[in-house]
């Protein structure tokens, strides 16, 4: 690496590189973990699941909670109202009536899709927390896939 001084390019010494690196503010471990959770949320929002019907389904934490709540509410309602129906929607579409077995299969597919991504974020947290120094913690990399 070189620097430009008085019209000349000079080699930058390892001591100068070290001094420059020390001027870069390090994030706290809590900030790194918070950022990794936010990155997971952004990744999930940008990477819906394409299911067996060829449609895409949002897999954000909010949508997962809504789906599970919808299934649970249907299972409660059907006890007193056998004619109850359950509905759900693909991304950008209106809700339609679903077979409960198919909707449960979608919920499981979403769980299986999201689980390794959550595991990667959790492994990142462990690596950040077990890093010997703050600089080592800041050097830990987290990636969910291409372009993440």
Give the model confidence (pLDDT) of 98-112 as tens digits: 999 999 999 999 999
pLDDT of residue 127: 95
Q: Report the pLDDT value the prediction gives residue 147, as an integer from 0 to 100.
A: 47
Q: What is the mean pLDDT of residues 113-134?
A: 95
Residues with Cβ < 8 Å from 56, sequence gap 6 or more?
A: 48, 49, 50, 90, 91
pLDDT of residue 22: 67
| DSSP H/E element including 20 | helix 14-23
Q: Of 145 and 140, which is predicted with more confidence?
A: 140
Query: Structure pTM?
Result: 0.79
Buried-exposed string 22-51: b where 16+ CB fall within 10 A, e elsewhere? eeeebeebeebbeebeebbeebbeebbbeb
CA 45/CA 64 separation, integer angstroms: 11
Mean pLDDT of the chain: 90
Question: Are the C-beta atoms of residues 127 and 121 closer than 8 Å to each other?
Answer: no
For residue 122, pLDDT over 70 is answered with yes
CB of 55 closer than 8 Å to CB of 91: yes
pLDDT of residue 39: 94
> In the block, which residue shows the tokens 């620097």?
3
How does pLDDT run across 123-133, given as a tens digit for each residue? 999 999 999 99
């Amino acid at each position: 690496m070189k620097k430009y001084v008085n019209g000349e390019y000079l080699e930058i010494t390892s001591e100068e590189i070290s001094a420059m690196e020390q001027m870069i503010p390090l994030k706290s471990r809590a900030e790194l973990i918070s950022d990794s959770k936010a990155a997971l949320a952004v990744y999930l929002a940008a990477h819906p699941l394409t299911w067996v019907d060829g449609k895409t389904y949002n897999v954000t934490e909010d949508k997962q909670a809504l789906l599970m709540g919808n299934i649970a509410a249907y299972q409660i309602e059907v006890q007193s109202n056998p004619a109850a129906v359950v509905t759900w929607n693909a991304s950008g579409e209106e809700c339609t009536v679903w077979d409960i077995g198919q909707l449960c299969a979608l919920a499981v597919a979403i769980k299986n899709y999201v689980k390794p991504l959550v595991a990667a974020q959790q492994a990142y947290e462990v690596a950040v927390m077990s890093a010997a120094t703050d600089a080592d913690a800041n050097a830990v990399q987290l990636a969910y896939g291409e372009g993440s």
